[in-house]
């Protein structure tokens, strides 16, 4: 879902720290020391390092969603192609997407790296788990890096299925009754993904009872493993 040095990943370390990938580095070649720790304003806590140029997009997600612990941004080709063609991902088609993601909105184009992006993403991410940035890419949030990544993977997989359905003659939607049953299933099994904030259990953002350096080391190692595994 990314090429060259595209995309960025972050993880919440606690109430006031974020671990984020650096700018201009291929994710498959990252070393633990390359990852950058920032405060909740996206400012690196150590001088001389450069975090992702899109850090503001990550920060706004954590501010608007205190229940999440990770953000993944990439450029999944089929999902982005839908936005380039002026199409949205049709909701209410694939049961697994309805249950695990809900609606995946497409936000109007904003200048990448500018504050137009977080200004648009912040309000939108309050009511969804993944979204598409027109002409640009996609973003997903989760309670871990892998959780957010899997949601982004599901967006791209759904986009590919919908593309093939269009090529085969068109899209058929699930019935309203089927959708209501799926939403009840969400609540019954405790899945709050894609449901309004009122259904979500709050997350305080409190760090585990660990030394800050130990926590950073643990999260860094996990993120590196996941990024390198995904690049193979």
Structural domains of the chain sorted by starting position, each given as residue range(s) with its CATH number in brackets: 8-214 (3.40.225.10)
- Confidence at residue 151, expressed as pLDDT on a 0 to 100 scale: 96
- Confidence at residue 49, expressed as pLDDT on a 0 to 100 scale: 84
Among residues 14, 27, 50, 22, the alpha carbon closest in space to that of 218 is found at: 14
Q: What is the mean pLDDT of each run of 10 residues along the chain (232 residues)?
A: 90 95 90 93 89 94 96 97 96 91 94 92 95 98 95 97 96 91 85 52 38 55 60 54
pTM assigned to the model: 0.81
Q: How many H-runs (helices) and E-runs (strands) does the chain carry? A: 7, 7
Q: How far is CA 57 from the centre of its chain?
A: 10
For 226, phi and psi rounded to 5 degrees? Answer: -70, -40
- Confidence at residue 202, expressed as pLDDT on a 0 to 100 scale: 38
């Amino acid at each position: 879902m990314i090429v060259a040095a595209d995309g960025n990943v972050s993880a919440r370390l606690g109430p006031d720290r974020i671990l984020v990938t650096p700018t201009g580095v291929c994710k498959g070649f990252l070393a633990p020391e390359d990852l950058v720790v920032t405060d909740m304003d996206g400012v690196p806590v150590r001088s001389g390092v450069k975090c992702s140029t899109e850090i503001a997009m990550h920060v706004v997600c954590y501010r608007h969603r205190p229940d999440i612990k990770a953000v993944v941004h990439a450029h999944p080709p089929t999902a982005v192609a839908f936005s380039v063609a002026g199409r949205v991902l049709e909701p209410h088609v694939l049961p697994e997407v309805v249950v695990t993601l809900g609606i995946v909105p497409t936000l109007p184009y904003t200048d990448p790296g500018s504050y137009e992006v977080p200004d648009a993403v912040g309000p939108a991410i309050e009511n969804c788990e993944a979204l598409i940035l027109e002409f640009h890419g996609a973003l997903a949030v989760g309670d871990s890096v892998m959780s957010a990544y899997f949601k982004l993977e599901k967006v791209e997989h759904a986009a590919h299925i919908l593309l093939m359905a269009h090529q085969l003659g068109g899209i058929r939607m699930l019935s309203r009754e089927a959708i209501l049953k799926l939403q009840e299933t969400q609540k019954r099994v405790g899945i709050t993904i894609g449901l309004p904030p009122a259904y979500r259990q709050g997350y305080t953002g409190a760090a585990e009872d660990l030394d800050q350096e130990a926590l950073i080391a643990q999260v860094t190692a996990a993120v590196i493993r996941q990024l390198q595994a995904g690049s193979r």
